[in-house]
Amino acid sequence: MKRHNFSAGPAMLPVEVRQRLAEALAPSADGSPSIAEVSHRGPRFAALAEELEHRLRALMGLGDSHALLLLQGGANLQFAWLPMNLAVGRTPAYLISGHWGLKALAEARRLGPAEVVGSSERDGFRDVPEVGHLPEHCAYLHYTGNETIHGVQFEQPPTVAVPLAADLSSEFLSRPYPYADLAFAYAGAQKNLGIAGLTVVSIRRDLLARIPDGLPRYLDYRSWVESDSMYNTPVTLSWYVALEVCRWIEESRGGLTALAERNRLRAERLYRCIDESGFWSNPVAPQARSVMNVPFFPASEDHVGRFLEAAEAAGLMGLKGHRALGGLRASLYNALDDDSVETLIDFLGDYERRFG
């Protein structure tokens, strides 16, 4: 039976990338080391690092105006690292469209004042908020491009006259995106860029001058710019996988434009199936629905356990909703096959006919 992995992250890898990873780690007859067993300062890893930066920059459309950093610590570390570096003596502003935006805000507030300039919390995060009045001496406006738990996505970055900072964790490389227009962007790799451990950050170089002196060196972005992201030992295997994923996007999937169209069409099919059902529902306003993460709810929460059991038995995995929200969620990342989405749609119809 074929298994279909809808996990929100760590999420499935493209089959081709799994194959490459297996080959890369397979024991060699003569004992020569794998990519995970060589120095990150040696020529073999240096070539990998160079190609990875080149490919990521091309996919993101980033030029010299931005530094591209390959870090660790996930998006959660960026929630604090960003304000620690760029909000000193200025007030950061936050747009809140779900769980992760709230977490980013809470971390910023541990370091100093931060203002909410728009939030859709009052109506249960069913839409993206409008941008209200920005503070004077605004450090940046932070938003979460795609709220992975609530399934709320900004179609485009907000239009404002201050630097934009975006958590793009769960939509990174799912479509062409104006990364070069953002002052700051970050994403963990464990959704669309491979395996956990690696966090991609892009930062407009002119902002580096705002970083206060005296920070721990690890937590000063300049240390990472100056060391080509090798201030300390990088997560070498995550870099390897990220490079294979970048190659796969270009060579097997025809690039981000083709992926984006495919991703949009199949998300629309799933939302249509949910909307046309009298049993399943998704509360998010149509214009703000996420293309990557589709939360959905049965007529009664009592169905969740039974549904998950039946789904697992049918090979549909990773559909449990986040504990903060309950219900169910299907994550439709790049590596998921179209036939997995079709199988889910059929399964939802079947379940409704049997138990609805």
> Which is closer to ligand PLP, CB of 298 or CB of 318?
318
Q: Report d(CA 162, CA 154) in Å as an integer.
A: 18
Among 85, 91, 97, 144, binds ligand PLP (CB under 6 A): 144
**Residues linked to residue 96 through DSSP beta bridges, in sequence order:** 119
**Distance of CA 121 to CAs 93, 150, 287, Å?**
16, 11, 17
Tell me the longest C-alpha to C-alpha distance in the chain: 65
> Which is closer to ligand PLP, CB of 74 or CB of 318?
74
| Interaction between residue 118 and ligand PLP (CB under 6 A) | no
Site string for ligand PLP, 308-337 (x = CB under 6 A): ------------------------------
| Interaction between residue 157 and ligand PLP (CB under 6 A) | no
Nearest-Å Rg of the Cα atoms of the chain is 21
- Supply the minimum distance, in Å, between the C-beta of residue 278 and ligand PLP: 31
**Window contacting ligand PLP (CB under 6 A); options: 28-36, 73-81, 105-113, 118-126:** 73-81
- Supply the minimum distance, in Å, between the C-beta of residue 172 and ligand PLP: 9
**Token pair for 230:** 């090798």
- Supply the minimum distance, in Å, between the C-beta of residue 199 and ligand PLP: 6
Q: Report d(CA 69, CA 81) in Å as an integer.
A: 13
**Window contacting ligand PLP (CB under 6 A); options: 29-37, 74-82, 174-182, 243-251:** 74-82
DSSP β-ladder status, 184-188 and 199-204: antiparallel
Annotated binding site for pyridoxal 5'-phosphate: 100, 148, 167, 190, 232-233
What is the CB neighbour count within 10 angstroms for residue 50? Answer: 12
Least Cα distance to 165 among 124, 197, 223, 210 occurs for 210
100 belongs to the catalytic site = yes
Q: How many CA atoms lie within 13 A of 299 on its CB side?
A: 9
Query: Which phi and psi angles does 104 have, rounded to 5°?
Result: -60, -45
What is the CB neighbour count within 10 angstroms for residue 328? Answer: 21
**Distance of CA 97 to CAs 61, 285, 304, Å?**
26, 12, 25
Among 75, 102, 273, 292, binds ligand PLP (CB under 6 A): 75
Among 45, 56, 74, 108, binds ligand PLP (CB under 6 A): 74
Element (H, E) at 69: strand 66-71
| Interaction between residue 298 and ligand PLP (CB under 6 A) | no
Among 91, 170, 282, 340, binds ligand PLP (CB under 6 A): 170
Among 34, 72, 76, 281, binds ligand PLP (CB under 6 A): 76
Least Cα distance to 98 among 146, 156, 165, 147 occurs for 147
Residue 301 CA, chain-centre distance (Å), reads 27
Q: Which one from 81, 167, 239, 320 is the annotated catalytic residue? A: 167
167 belongs to the catalytic site = yes
| Interaction between residue 92 and ligand PLP (CB under 6 A) | no
> Which is closer to ligand PLP, CB of 105 or CB of 273?
105
- Supply the minimum distance, in Å, between the C-beta of residue 169 and ligand PLP: 4
Q: Which one from 81, 191, 224, 320 is the annotated catalytic residue? A: 191
Close Cβ partners of 337 (under 8 Å, ≥ 6 residues apart) = 4
- Supply the minimum distance, in Å, between the C-beta of residue 196 and ligand PLP: 7
| Interaction between residue 223 and ligand PLP (CB under 6 A) | no
Which residue, chain included where needed, has tokens 């590596």?
A: 335
| Interaction between residue 167 and ligand PLP (CB under 6 A) | yes
Contact residues: ligand PLP, CB under 6 A: 9, 74-76, 100, 144, 148, 167, 169-170, 188
**Could you give the residue numbers annotated as active site?**
100, 167, 191
